[in-house]
Amino acid sequence: MRSRPGSSNRAALTLGALGVVYGDIGTSPLYVMKTVFDKANGLTLNPANIVGIVSLIFWSLMVVVTLKYVTLIMRADNHGEGGIMALLALAASSVADNPKLRHLLLMSGVFGAALFYGDGVITPAISVLSAVEGLELAAPSLTPYVVEITLAVLVVLFMLQKRGTAGIGAVFGPVMVAWFVVLACSGLVHLLRAPAILAALNPLAGLEFALEHRWLAFVALGSVVLALTGAEALYADMGHFGAAPVRVSWFALVLPALTLNYFGQGALLLAHPGALENPFFRMFPQGALVPMVLLATVATVIASQAVISGAFSMTKQAIQLGFLPRMRITHTSAKEVGQIYVPAVNAALFVAVIAAVIGFGSSTALGAAYGIAVTGTMMITTFLTFYVLRYAWKFTLWPALLATGFFFVIDLTFFFANLLKIVDGGWFPLVIGAIVFVGMVTWARGRELLAESVRADAIELKPFLNSVLADPPMRAPGSAVFMNGEADLTPAALLHNLKHNHVLHESNLFVTVNTHEVPWIPPNERASAQMLCAGCWVVTLNFGFKNDVDVPAALDLLHTQGIVLDPMTTSYFLSRATVVPTLGSGMAPWREKLYANMHRNASSAADFLNLPPNRVVELGTKVQI
């Protein structure tokens, strides 16, 4: 349970939420209007269309972000944690008695998580590029170097990841406050000059636009949805700040600032249609353009940082839940457990982001690639929420359908509108998502096949120990900890140790690590032990998908049960399997080879379990799948 924060702590959390949660959606005004009225979309720039588009943007923010995410989705927390992996764990656990439905939810959630990585590539590329494009107005002589400057900013951003965000994180909140204040003030100035844009407050204006243009309006929705990018972050980062600070930030500053800015851009275009080349930066006088480019660049770096950090966090959760192989994870803060760095993910994102900037070359072109990943994830989030309402919260069918069906239709409309952009760049995040999805489901299925193969050839632990102790080998001093995937089976490391060394330690712990579909397991539920025979215990360690797996620390908790391990006389035995793909009914041959390659290149189990390097003994074995 979270303690209720005091007023000063609540204010700090609200400021932090502004800096982390709202960077993505807060920088959308840089490119939305320009992308909507791009000539390729075929939409004419005239007063009626401007009012209609601004109305669609405003009511999309109200319905999708305010009603769906802030009001409904944020209530579907997994013990206070949000995000699609937390929602997936909650939905899947609520239908645990229905394996087919659980499998469907798992596949849907994994695909949504895979699409998030596509979003994680496009967000830094389009955000930073759109900010640097302001130089085309502020310093026209630098126009040929916009892409190069963008690449330089991104290189620095990704190089700084290994240092952590603790230092620069302290300034995120104040910078984003300044950003939203500037958004609001600049929008208000132009709104007062052309108040006719206030007609967009009427939802009928957007509906009239849609009915009049139909196909063009449907195409325009693919760009309007860019105003909603980052909505998923409200839910995903809820666990870091709590629901209340995220909601307060939205209603007190973010929503008013975004509304005023979009209305201000619409008012500017009503008065000066020629400003369409870059409506956002045209809102400012020439003398303010350079400072605004700098502020926008910093804001987009903050938005990119939040997405990159989110990718690190999701990767850790996916590893814990068994959808990705072990990777090296570095903690970058001694105080904040959530601040982590995953080198492999950082490198992959960096390569993909650089390729996106070079390949697309402008924020308008990237806008065509952006919406599919965003709308796909949003649609899957709504789908999973239905099952949480229906099975976890025990809603009857019709209330659950009504609560989510309305939003699902909207998500589906946005998603299909973005499918029109596949040829123009929408294929890019889909390819990234497909690659990640195939890797995740292959790893999960491979682990199942590996466990089945091991179980088929394994010996039950208790009868085996009884037979060994009937004619006991030499007992070595100290303790042996055997990491064991199946609590009731004999680990291969014990068999090899007896075969080659002919010894059994005085104290033997057969440890199984379980990761549960909840974010946190408290220390008092972390470890339990059951004696099998003299000097032998079966130990179960429980971790949530956001807990750090630390086996020695967890074993120290067994002192309350009379089991005390001396670090200097305790050895940890691991069975390292070499996977051998074979023809059979498991997976397609190419998937078995892919799994074998992923398994071979996974980071050390000893590192993942936080075992002391000088106390680990690894014994290998070959396993066919």
| Per-residue pLDDT, 167 | 52
Q: What is the pLDDT of residues 155-165, one digit of tens each?
A: 999 988 887 65
Q: HEC profile for 202-269?
A: CHHHHHHHHHHHCHHHHHHHHHHHHHHCCHHHHHHCHHHHCHHHHHHHHHHHHHHHHHHHHHHHHHHH
- The model's confidence at residue 166, banded by pLDDT at 50, 70 and 90, is low
Can you tell me the distance from the alpha carbon of 407 to that of 236, in angstroms, rounded to the nearest whole number? Answer: 18
Give me the pLDDT at residue 1, please.
37
3-state secondary structure of 417: helix
Residue 624 pLDDT > 90: no
pLDDT at 79 (0 to 100): 75
3-state secondary structure of 544: strand
Tally the C-alpha atoms within 13 A of residue 267's C-alpha that lie toward its C-beta. 22
Residue 221 has pLDDT above 50, yes or no: yes
**pLDDT tens-digit series, residues 235-251:** 877 777 778 888 999 99
pLDDT level of residue 182 (50, 70, 90 thresholds): very high
Three-class DSSP category at 580: strand
Query: Hey, what domains does the chain have and what are their CATH numbers?
Result: 10-277+291-427 (1.20.1740), 458-624 (3.40.50)
537 by DSSP, 3-state: which? strand
- CA 164 to chain CA centroid, Å, is 17
Q: What is the pLDDT of residue 5?
A: 45
* 319/85 Cα distance (integer angstroms): 11
Report d(CA 404, CA 382) in Å as an integer.
6
pLDDT band at 305 (very low <50, low <70, confident <90, very high): confident
Mean pLDDT of 513-524: 88
Separation between Cα atoms, residue 271 and residue 338, nearest integer Å: 47
Closest CA to 341 of 317, 311, 321, 320: 311
> Between 85 and 289, where is the model more confident?
289
Contact partners, residue 232, CB within 8 Å, separation at least 6: 69, 83, 84, 116, 119, 374, 377, 378, 381
For the chain, what is the mean pLDDT? 89
* Phi, psi at 503, each rounded to 5°: -135, 155
Residue 149 contacts by C-beta under 8 Å, 6 or more apart in sequence? 132, 135, 142
612 close to 569: Cβ distance less than 8 angstroms? no
Confidence of residue 350 (pLDDT cuts 50, 70, 90): very high
Strands across the sheet containing 616-624: 527-533, 536-544, 503-516, 474-483, 570-580, 616-624
Judge whether residue 214 has pLDDT over 50. yes
Mean pLDDT on 85-104: 90
- Looking at residue 547, its pLDDT comes to 86
Q: Considering only CA atoms, which of 550, 548, 527 is closest in space to residue 539?
A: 527
Output 317 or 165, whichever has higher pLDDT.
Answer: 317
- State the pLDDT at residue 3: 42
Q: Mean pLDDT throughout 182-203? A: 96
Q: Per-residue pLDDT averaged across 616-622, rounded?
A: 82
CA distances from 195 to 37, 189, 192, 255, 263 (A): 21, 10, 5, 19, 9
Q: What is the pLDDT of residue 291?
A: 94
Interval 403-461: pLDDT, tens: 899 999 999 999 999 998 888 888 999 999 999 999 999 999 999 998 888 888 888 99
Q: Record the pTM.
A: 0.85
Residues 61-89, mean pLDDT to the nearest whole number: 87
What is the predicted pLDDT for the residue at 162? 81
Which amino acid type is present at position 484? N
Residue 171 has pLDDT above 60, yes or no: yes
Q: 10 Å Cβ neighbour count for 474? A: 8
pLDDT at 105 over 50: yes
Please say if the pLDDT value at position 266 is more than 90: yes
- Answer for the pair 258, 25: CB distance below 8 angstroms, yes or no: yes
How does DSSP assign 450-468, residue by residue? HHHHHHHH--BHHHHHHHH
Taking only the tens place, the pLDDT of each residue in 8-58 is 567 777 887 887 788 889 999 999 999 999 888 889 999 999 999 999 999
pLDDT average, residue stretch 209-218 = 93
Q: Which of 264, 595, 560, 226 is nearest to 438 (CA)?
A: 595
Average pLDDT (531-549) is: 90
Query: Is residue 252 predicted with pLDDT exceeding 90?
Result: yes
